[in-house]
Chains A and B, each alone.
Chain A
Amino acid sequence: MSTTDVLLIGAGPAGLACAATILAHSDLSVVVLDAGHGPGGQYWRQPAPAAGPNALVPGELADLHHDQTTFAELLQEVQRGRAEGRLELRSEQHVWSLVPVGDGYAAHTVDRAGGPSRTAGSTTRARAVLVATGAYDRALPFPGWDLPGVMTVGGLQALLKAGGVAAGRRVAIGGTGPFLLPVAAGLARRGSTVVGVYEANRPTLWLREARAVARNPAKLGEGAGYAGTLIRHRVPVRTGRMIVAAHGTDRVEAVTVARLDRAGRPVVGSEHRLAVDAVGVGWGFTPQLDLAVTLGVDRRPDVAGTEVVAVDDLQRTSRPGVYAAGEVCGVGGAALAVAEGTLAGAAIVADLGRGAAPESLVRQGRRSVDRLRGFADAILRAHPVPAGWADRLEPQTVVCRCEEVSYAAVRAAIDERGAGDARQVKQLTRTGMGWCQGRVCGYAAGLLTCGAPGPAVERLVSAPVPLGALADAAAGSDD
């Protein structure tokens, strides 16, 4: 077991900004636990550190990234903290439980740094803890979405950023939200033919968001950059369209795209079929709330009804000593996560009585959070899931990928046995009971039963724990 003043869970933009702030304005010791192969989170995801003549080097993938300067600055602070012996950054650490112990908290972790056959357990105790666990892609079922080659857009992006791999030669991208654009642009830069980007919503929804756009000119510039790349590579971007089916036997070979009417329903007769060998779909992101939910911190709904962690204006949760920053407080992107991480760092040094961040830093952070949260809310309003997303589901379409539960079985649970929420569908059909614990199908199950995302699910163990690691944790708690 190890003990530290502050434990940060997640080394993405929020966790790194929090670490940098604590290091700069206090003498507190910091441990950062992260599941990735190195710092950066999903946004600044890097290849695993490697040596050898043919090894991937981050530099060759730099063109796929945005705002590398901020990342470099944050990393420099973290490296300085490491050199001074004040910060420890541990990668490939999967925190599976975070519990209150004494006047602080203990994180039980599976250490996967040694590879599959050498996992171990560890426990870290701290007086203050930051939950900065990020978010994951939101997927919706459609016929053929379980064919190999169909992935989330985040999956395509991870293969590009961490592996330098374009997952297909001919790729279709679909769903909704601004994230579709950088993924399509990255694939085009790496030689894939992107046959189309099919954005379900029409840009007219953005007309209502003039204020949020005007306050965030940098976001507009970022979008224009991706649009330029897509135009140069002749990638068609079609709005009001949706991928309604993927076809193939052992792998995806084609998709069907349909036009959506004003009500968001696929129009009969508008379909066309395109040959592809990979597909990326994404309907926004779901905050990774497992640790926050089991700790019992207060939540609030975001503007689209998704539960997120409720925080005060310095990122304090309802539990003393627990802070949250980044996507867990509402999906909003890296710049917002950095601002929130900075504020959390300022709050932690003040609350533990071990320093003070300059008032100007806090003021600036609050202004950034306010402005960027406004833009994040605008994205959620302008990119809803279309009303007719489930119109083209077929009886045999798999809804729960792990337990292989069909749409017909889910429908029967709702229509014939009266299931009124995702939990009841789970009890009746095993939807959400498999390996992923509903992280993939839970959103769809919520929409099918109540037309809303539904409450965040409590998962007492938030990552798979090998028995050996569990024994290590039990031994650690006796200390």
Chain B
Amino acid sequence: MSTFTFDGGPVPFRPGQTVGAALVAAGRPAWRTTRVSGSPRGIFCGIGICFDCLVTVDGEPNQRACLVRAEPGQTVTTQEGTGHEHD
């Protein structure tokens, strides 16, 4: 079974799926908190338009989970606010 890690834990995926699809399939509808109210967000438009599903992938913040292909061994982390707070 192919997996990537999400906030340290394994998430299984089927090759061909996006990071976002794998997270939804794993029962996680949210993986980001917003800048102002800290509200949880996940996929909304699913096609790269809305930027609600932003996530950090292998250290790169602001990646659209609905577009990024899941790869074995990828490190995916929750994004808080702009994704740059801790720089």
Tell me the A residues contacting B by CB distance below 8 Å.
35, 37, 42, 47-52, 54-57, 112, 115-117, 136-137, 139, 146, 148-152, 154-159, 162-165, 167, 250-252, 277-278, 401-404, 434-436, 439-440, 464
State whether A56 touches B17 (Cβ < 8 A).
yes
Q: Across the interface, which residues of B come within 8 angstroms of A35, CB to CB? A: 48, 67
Give the Cβ gap from A265 to chain B, nearest Cβ, in Å.
Answer: 26
Q: Return the contact of A48 from the options B16, B46, B62 (Cβ within 8 A).
A: B16
User: Given the complex, which residues of B lie within 8 Å of A112, measured CB to CB?
Assistant: 67
Whether B51 pairs with A436 at a CB distance below 8 angstroms is: yes
Report the minimum CB–CB distance from B40 to chain A (whole Å). 5
B17 touches A136 (CB 8 A): no
Contact B71–A115 (Cβ < 8 Å) = yes
Which residues from B are CB-within-8-Å of A136?
45, 47, 49
Contact B30 A251 (CB under 8 A): yes
Please determine whether A435 and B51 come into contact, CB atoms closer than 8 angstroms.
yes
Taken together as a complex, chains A and B put the C-alpha atoms of A150 and B43 apart, in Å, by 8
Q: Determine how close the nearest CB of chain B comes to the CB of A35; give it in whole angstroms.
A: 7
For the side of the interface on B, what is the size category? 35 or more
Residue of B nearest to A37 (CB): B69
Q: Name B15-66 residues within 8 Å CB distance of A.
A: 15-18, 20-22, 24-25, 29-30, 34-37, 39-52, 54, 57-60, 62-63, 66
CB-contact partner of A155 in B34, B45, B63, under 8 A? B45
The 19 sampled A-B contact pairs (Cβ below 8 Å) are A48-B16, A48-B17, A48-B69, A49-B16, A52-B2, A52-B15, A56-B14, A56-B16, A115-B68, A116-B58, A139-B45, A150-B44, A162-B21, A165-B24, A251-B40, A404-B34, A404-B35, A440-B44, A440-B45
Nearest chain A CB to B75's CB is how many angstroms away? 11
CA distance in complex: A54, B60 (Å): 27
Closest 6 CB pairs of A and B: A155-B46, A163-B21, A56-B16, A50-B15, A435-B51, A47-B16
Q: Is the interface of A mostly helix, strand, loop or mixed?
A: loop
Chain A residues lying within 8 Å of B60, measured Cβ to Cβ, are 116-117
Write out the residue numbers on chain B whose beta carbons fall within 8 Å of the beta carbon of A150.
44
B46 touches A154 (CB 8 A): yes
Q: How far is the CB of A281 from chain B (nearest CB, A)?
A: 10
**When chains A and B are docked, how far (Å) is the Cα of A52 from the Cα of B13?**
12
State the main secondary structure of chain B at its contact with A.
loop
> Is A42 a contact partner of B68 (Cβ separation < 8 A)?
no
With the chains together, A154 CA to B66 CA distance in Å? 12
Number of A-B contacts (CB under 8 A): 144
In angstroms, Cα B42 to Cα A285, docked, is: 21
Checking B18, B29, B45, B68 against A163 with a beta-carbon cut-off of 8 angstroms, the contacting residue is B18
Q: Are A404 and B36 in contact (CB under 8 A)?
A: yes
Chain B residues with CB under 8 A of A402: 51
The minimal Cβ–Cβ distance linking A345 to chain B, given in whole angstroms, is 25
Whether the pair B49, A436 counts as a contact (CB closer than 8 A) is: yes
In the complex formed, the residue of B with least CB distance to A396 is B37
The reply to whether B46 and A164 form a contact with Cβ atoms under 8 Å apart is no
Given known A-B contacts A116-B68, A148-B29, A436-B49, A163 and B35 have beta carbons under 8 A apart: no
A146-B39, A158-B66 as given contacts; A401 in contact with B50, CB under 8 Å: yes
What CA separation (Å) do A167 and B14 show in the bound complex? 15
Closest chain-B Cβ to A97's Cβ sits at a distance in Å of 17
B21, A54: Cβ atoms under 8 Å?
Answer: no
Contact B17 A165 (CB under 8 A): yes
Q: How far, in whole Å, are A42 and B47 apart by their CA atoms in the complex?
A: 8
Chain A residues, Cβ within 8 Å of B21:
159, 162-165
Q: Are A55 and B16 in contact (CB under 8 A)?
A: yes
Question: Is A401 in contact with B44, judged by CB distance below 8 angstroms?
Answer: yes
- B37 and A404 form a contact (CB under 8 A): yes
Contact present for A164 and B14 (CB under 8 Å):
yes
Other than A150-B44, A159-B20, A163-B25, give 16 A-B pairs with Cβ distance below 8 A.
A47-B16, A48-B16, A49-B16, A54-B14, A115-B57, A148-B41, A151-B45, A154-B45, A159-B24, A162-B18, A164-B21, A165-B25, A167-B43, A278-B29, A436-B50, A436-B51
